Structure 1
Amino acid sequence: MMGCSFRANSRLALALAVSVLVLSIAGCGTSVERMDTAEVKDLSGAWNDTDSRLVSEEMIQDVLSRDWLPEFTRTHKKKPAVIVGEVLNLSNEHVNVNTFTADMERALINSGKIQFVASKGERGEIREERKDQDINAAEATRKPMGQEIGADYMLKGTINTIIDTSGSSQVRYYQVDLTLISLADNVKTWIGQKKIKKFVKRGNLRY
């Protein structure tokens, strides 16, 4: 009888162990929740998509509201052509500068007040396509070389951070500086600055 009881207890213990293992594996599974792309969700306190979008939109609204724009339009009888130059990440963390510049381009184009010129990398690819058209495209549809619109202004900038940490608390300070420069004479037409400050508090803070 004791042998049967021992085997029964062993089987019960094994069944319980298997159940615990199955539950543990299930608990470790990946959970995915879809979010609205406009929803604000700060997890680490680091620079994120919301910062990129809000900073670019606010700074572009500022540059478009200044006197240089109506003065240029009145003098030249056209919309100014703008190109986004280099935006340097001088911070101590990874910032997706490409996403930030894309947000700026979108805000500029959607304003309807600016002509936007293709970037240096984009122009190279387009020029290669024109060369190919010179050989292979029908004359009626061929796009000739030398017809590009030259940019009137270049928008350049930097992203900087200051991180102040004490124990499990941290203040993350971001400063974005943008400058609009006239390509005709190198005059700085507009200088914009946006600051973001975040207080982060959590256990076992490590960076």
Structure 2
Amino acid sequence: MNKEHAYKTAAGLLMAAVVATGLTACGGTQVSRVGANKQIDVTDKWNSTDSKLVAKQMIKDMVSFPWLEKWNQKHDRMPRVIIKTVRNKSHEHIPTDTFINDLKRAMLRNGQVEFVSGGAAREEVREERKEQDIYASEDTRAEMGAETGADFALAGSINSTVQQADGTRVTFYQVDLNLVDMTTTQEVWYGQKKIKKVAEKGGFF
């Protein structure tokens, strides 16, 4: 084999490698940017769309019950609601903090109730207030003992069941929430939302 033929062979092999690499890249993963609110179901598991829609629908249902009208007839301010605990009793990991945040947003956007912070957020504010009491000037520090108390407490759970047969899987989610009067412990609202998802073998399995 002469040098010219060897050079041509090497160049041909290099070109083939480049083409193969390009074809592999074209057949690889492609990523596109979409709006955060666009509904995309890549599995049959609980997702952000479920969280937002359930929160919005349940808060809408909550403020449609008679308790709110009765409250407004007796008071000249909106009722204050605190979210206690939403327990995940489903078969999968569900970020309940995200769902709680969606509930908060739905309440604030609805504008018929006021939201009172609880849990870790409240403890952080209390710690900051303690530091202000030491380091901030008297005319700028937040007062101790001036927190806004909640009138009602919201709590609930997320449950699920899964049925599978002949290449089809049906996942059923049920969200239960209840609103309790903090003074009387009377349950003034109970809400329930159900979601059913069907997955065929070869797609989500």
Aligned length: 204
Superposition deviation, residue 112 in structure 1: 1.5
* 1:138 equivalent in structure 2: 137
- Residue matched to 2:158: 159
Q: CA deviation at 1:168?
A: 2.4
Q: Secondary structure at the match of 2:49?
A: helix
Instruction: Classify the secondary structure of the residue corresponding to 2:197.
Output: strand
Structure 1 residue 69, shift from structure 2 partner:
0.5
User: Secondary structure of the equivalent of 2:193?
Assistant: strand
Cα offsets for 1:151-201 (capped at 9, x unmatched) = 111110111111111242111111000010111122111000000111111
Cα 1:51–1:79 change in 2 (3 A) is: same
SS at match of 2:59: helix
Shift of 1:25: 4.6
Aligned equivalent of 1:109:
108
Q: How far is the alpha carbon of 1:84 from its aligned partner?
A: 0.7
Q: C-alpha displacement at 1:13, in angstroms?
A: 6.3
User: Deviations 1:86-122 (Å, cap 9, x if unpaired)?
Assistant: 1011111121211111111011111111111012211
Q: Letter of the aligned partner of 2:160 in structure 1?
A: T
For the pair 1:198 / 2:179, whether they are aligned, the reply is no
| Unaligned stretches of 5+ residues in structure 2 | none
Distance in 2 separating the partners of 1:24 and 1:172: 38
Judging changes above 3 Å, is the alpha-carbon distance between structure 1 residues 204 and 54 closer, same or farther for their aligned structure 2 residues?
A: closer
Equivalent pair of 1:168/1:204 in contact (CA under 8 Å): no
Cα distance in 1 between the residues matched to 2:165 and 2:19: 40
Cα distance per residue 1:121-147 (max 9 Å; x no partner): 111111111111111111111211100
Q: Shift in Å at residue 62 of structure 1?
A: 0.3
What TM-score, normalized by structure 1, do the two folds share? 0.89
Separation (CA, whole Å) in 2 of partners of 1:167 and 1:84: 41
Task: Look up the match of 2:71.
Answer: 72
Contact 1:156 1:178 (8 Å CA) reproduced = yes
Identity of aligned residues (%): 39
User: What CA distance in whole angstroms lies between the structure 2 residues aligned with 1:186 and 1:175?
Assistant: 24
Aligned equivalent of 2:89: 90
The amino acid across from 1:34 in the alignment is R
Unaligned runs of 5+ in 1: none
From the superposition, tell whether residues 8 and 168 of structure 1 become closer, same or farther in structure 2 (CA, over 3 Å).
farther
AA at the equivalent of 2:96: V
**1:1-207 map, 5 Å:** 3-4=1-2, 7=6, 11=10, 14-15=13-14, 17-23=16-22, 25-27=24-26, 30-203=29-202, 206=205
Q: Distance in 2 between matches of 1:72 and 1:205?
A: 47
Question: Are the aligned partners of 2:43 and 2:204 in contact in 1 as well (CA < 8 Å)?
Answer: no
What's the C-alpha RMSD, in Å, of the aligned pairs?
A: 2.1
